[in-house]
A = this chain, B = another copy of it.
Amino acid sequence: MNIHELIHDLREAKKTKIVMLVADGLGGLPLEPGGLTELETASTPNLDACARDGTVGLSVPVLPGITPGSGPGHLGLFGYDPLEYRIGRGILEALGIGFTVGAKDVAIRGNFCTLGADGKITDRRAGRPSNDKNKAAVERLRTIKIPGVELFVEPVKEHRFVLVIRGDGLGDRVNDTDPQAVGVAPLAAQGADEASKKTAAVVNQFIAEATKVLATEGAINGATLRGFATYPKIATFADVYGLKAAAIAVYPMYKGLARLVGMDILDPGQTLQGQVDTLARVWNDYDFFFLHYKYTDSTGEDGNFPEKVRMIEKLDEAVPGILKLKPDVFIVTGDHSTPSKMKSHSWHPVPTLILADNCRTDEVTHFNERACSRGGLGQFQAMHLMLLAMAHAGRLGKYGA
């Protein structure tokens, strides 16, 4: 039996409220064997108190050893099997710039490139143009019209842009037109099925027009496309859990991921305090609150151990403001680890805590990697965290008699 069907059968309407605070890339590593991780180094009195009164464990985002991107990392936390639900690269790129994709869209990553007089690529990144030059080139692409579909072209940065084709019956089984090499011409798009052939036809017209409108843009005189992706079919949070859910995130990517599962997207401004203020303001309007905190990941990606420590301490300072609202279930976790030592996402399981009246207190009194490995939740799959959230919120009835 499918877990979502099981939840649908067992779920009960309650007034309880769940807060899931996701510290992106939360888990870390010691710089030296035997040393302390970022979380172990940080002073986190508020998270430690939650660990003491609650129960902790380590969340495995996808499978042991699998390093997730932001998409699979968050889908797991939201209770969607990240090996079953896949978000195409074009869609993720669109989410990342805050473009609202919909059910009729095919989203595609675009690269500006430089073509020689013979039509062959001489620079796959068009000399890495400035963002201003990128925007100017995007404006030219926006003049292209193709009958039967709507086109949206959005700048990303340097040589990158997003193309969204909106129309009926478009497929995404289309090859990348980027040949991933210089000295060869961009490839023609070909569709692997009827719906994708329709997309490919639009794309080939678009590229032909692009070459014309970009002719006078200097190094930016061509474009390649890749990562064709339709909007994923995902049951919403309301469908699966019966939860009215709000996302309180600063960065477009995470707002977009939350929108995919049907959460309302609130605008908390740019600060963690703004997020907590927003949480308080809408407290009575929702059952579930997803708070996303980016800086534990970005400092890890930068390889900046002390700054990641500082960002963890800043996160800790926000905890009392959340607890003041008395959530029935308070969860702190991450979508994956981002050890400063590795300057990248990693596969290491993620410290996770659940604080609720009916959680089974364990012996752990600190919130960090080592302590959580001895916690009452053990190691568990991230995609089961929402089951635990629902259970602790009293929102799951008994299975079988």
Answer whether residue A181 sits at the interface, using C-beta atoms and an 8 A cutoff: no
Assess whether B69 is in contact with A399, with CB atoms less than 8 Å apart. Answer: yes
A234 to chain B, nearest CB (A): 14
Residue of B nearest to A394 (CB): B342
- Alpha-carbon distance between A109 and B129 when the two chains are bound, in angstroms: 71
A304 to chain B, nearest CB (A): 18
Residue of B nearest to A35 (CB): B361
Chain A contact residues (Cβ within 8 angstroms of B): what range? 35 or more
**355-401 of chain A: CB within 8 A of chain B:** 358, 360-363, 369-370, 373-380, 384-392, 396-401
Assess whether A65 is in contact with B388, with CB atoms less than 8 Å apart. Answer: yes
- State whether A396 and B362 are in contact (beta carbons under 8 Å apart), knowing that A65-B391, A370-B376, A374-B374 are contacts in the complex: no
Q: Which residues of B contact A385 (CB under 8 A)?
A: 64
- Name A's interface SS: loop
Assess whether A361 is in contact with B399, with CB atoms less than 8 Å apart. Answer: no
Q: Which residues of B contact A29 (CB under 8 A)?
A: 358, 360
Instruction: Pick out which of these stretches binds chain B: A187-195, A311-319, A344-352.
Output: A344-352
- Alpha-carbon distance between A24 and B347 when the two chains are bound, in angstroms: 28
- Alpha-carbon distance between A219 and B361 when the two chains are bound, in angstroms: 50
Residue of B nearest to A375 (CB): B373
Instruction: Pick out which of these stretches binds chain B: A84-92, A142-150, A157-165, A274-282.
Output: A84-92
Assess whether B399 is in contact with A82, with CB atoms less than 8 Å apart. Answer: yes
Residue of B nearest to A75 (CB): B400
- Alpha-carbon distance between A249 and B386 when the two chains are bound, in angstroms: 36
Residue of B nearest to A342 (CB): B358
Assess whether B384 is in contact with A64, with CB atoms less than 8 Å apart. Answer: yes
Assess whether A401 is in contact with B348, with CB atoms less than 8 Å apart. Answer: no
Residue of B nearest to A74 (CB): B400
Answer whether residue A71 sits at the interface, using C-beta atoms and an 8 A cutoff: yes
Answer whether residue A58 sits at the interface, using C-beta atoms and an 8 A cutoff: yes
**52-101 of chain A: CB within 8 A of chain B:** 52-54, 58, 62-73, 82-84, 86-87, 89, 92-93
Assess whether A65 is in contact with B398, with CB atoms less than 8 Å apart. Answer: no
Residue A387 contacts which of B58, B65, B389, B391 (CB distance < 8 angstroms)?
Answer: B65
Assess whether B380 is in contact with A64, with CB atoms less than 8 Å apart. Answer: yes
Q: Which residues of B contact A376 (CB under 8 A)?
A: 369-370, 373
Q: A: which residues have CB within 8 A of B?
A: 1, 3, 6, 10, 27, 29-30, 33-35, 37, 52-54, 58, 62-73, 82-84, 86-87, 89, 92-93, 339, 341-342, 344-349, 358, 360-363, 369-370, 373-380, 384-392, 396-401
A-B contact pairs, 23 of them (CB 8 A): A1-B84, A6-B63, A27-B360, A37-B360, A62-B399, A63-B387, A64-B388, A65-B384, A65-B390, A65-B391, A68-B399, A70-B400, A82-B400, A339-B358, A342-B358, A346-B358, A348-B360, A362-B370, A363-B370, A373-B376, A374-B374, A378-B378, A379-B380
Known: A89-B401, A347-B388. 15 other contacts (CB 8 A): A6-B63, A33-B54, A64-B391, A65-B386, A66-B387, A67-B397, A67-B399, A68-B399, A69-B399, A69-B400, A71-B401, A82-B400, A92-B401, A349-B378, A360-B369
Q: Which 6 A-B pairs have the closest CB atoms?
A: A65-B387, A65-B391, A378-B379, A69-B400, A72-B400, A64-B384
